[in-house]
Structure 1
């Protein structure tokens, strides 16, 4: 992944499940000249809270059979943030491997991702794909500019989801790292 990001920059950088501390993360990113305006760490507990807020059930990711991808974490985050539509690009539950390497290793979360995508589609979540093959395989609508007419969640529901995500993540992180939210 480093060779893809080397020398690039972004505004908001969300790093998922980094456990070695903020300073180590900052040093690691600087080592291959990846720059950002704001850096956010998303812990396992934040992922669990996002899953709970969007899917309405807890997923503790106790083993690989129930873990979901970072791509689905981004989908949950977008929905929880009130995005009027979420367009999947580069997320294909039926693919092997990852775009940034040629190893073709089996993706451990592919089945979980597919189940979650299908459930969100059945519920009418504003999720689309930019990939015709993914649209065909998942039943998601293919995104077009006209897709953006979908309404977002009401302000009250959105506020509740944000509080649930933030509160759950802070409470669980405080148990594992008491310095984190002081």
Structure 2
């Protein structure tokens, strides 16, 4: 059998080989495109997963801040975990628990066990801020303020982060990430 291809006359076995060669080249090109696309899909998927994780953390942080704000006016009581009265670490533990995040009980453990450390400049609402050699913790609520349960005789309140707080700042963590 004879086949005409582009002005050339080919016999059947040669025509089949030429056609097979073209399809092999096309298959190779398609495989290369698929491999490249596969890599970009993996990168896009990883970015999407990270974005989703950050969005979930932000939603949890918003819940934790709202819960903590609802405790404004509750009295400080050493070792108290609420509801009704809190010490500093009990307040942030209670708020984050309501947001679905488990935290250790005491401030030093809350700092030590958290993987996501944050600088003063990178603070976002919901971040836990530690002071006085890890002896005190509060929750950043935004706009240069934090909510905390200060000490015996005081009540849960929001304070500005002024000079003294800045000088006694040890570090901060971002729970729920």
Same-fold call, TM > 0.5? no
Higher strand share: 2
Could you tell me the TM-score, scaled by structure 1's length? 0.23
Could you tell me the TM-score, scaled by structure 2's length? 0.23
Which is greater in Rg?
2
